[in-house]
Structure 1
Amino acid sequence: MPQLNPSPWFAILLFSWAVFLIILPTKVMAHTFNNDPNQQAAMKPKLDPWNWPWH
């Protein structure tokens, strides 16, 4: 039964987890966004009170 032989599958498991835990997080964290969300959040909207009659 070849599925019980752990020699090729254990190496594949270790290498795939090494990719997931070492290489991919560094690539994801190095991603930069085109639009900086802090610039838009710094502007405060002008709040006008409503003068509508309630009838």
Structure 2
Amino acid sequence: MPQLNPNPWFLIMALTWLSLTLLFLTKLLLTTLTNPPSPHLNTPSTPNWTWPWT
């Protein structure tokens, strides 16, 4: 029975997580630049910051 080589799967998973992380950071950066935080920092109950994946 041939031994399975996990290297290709590990590479695929690593690239997938790296891509998702870069995509999340890019969306987060764009959201922060296009929608700056509110100057009223004393009202944290109503933040105008939205999740990047929505």
TM-score bracket for the superposition, by shorter chain length? 0.3 to 0.5
TM-score (norm 2): 0.44
Please tell me whether Structure 1 or Structure 2 has the larger radius of gyration of its CA atoms: 1
TM-score, scaled to structure 1: 0.44
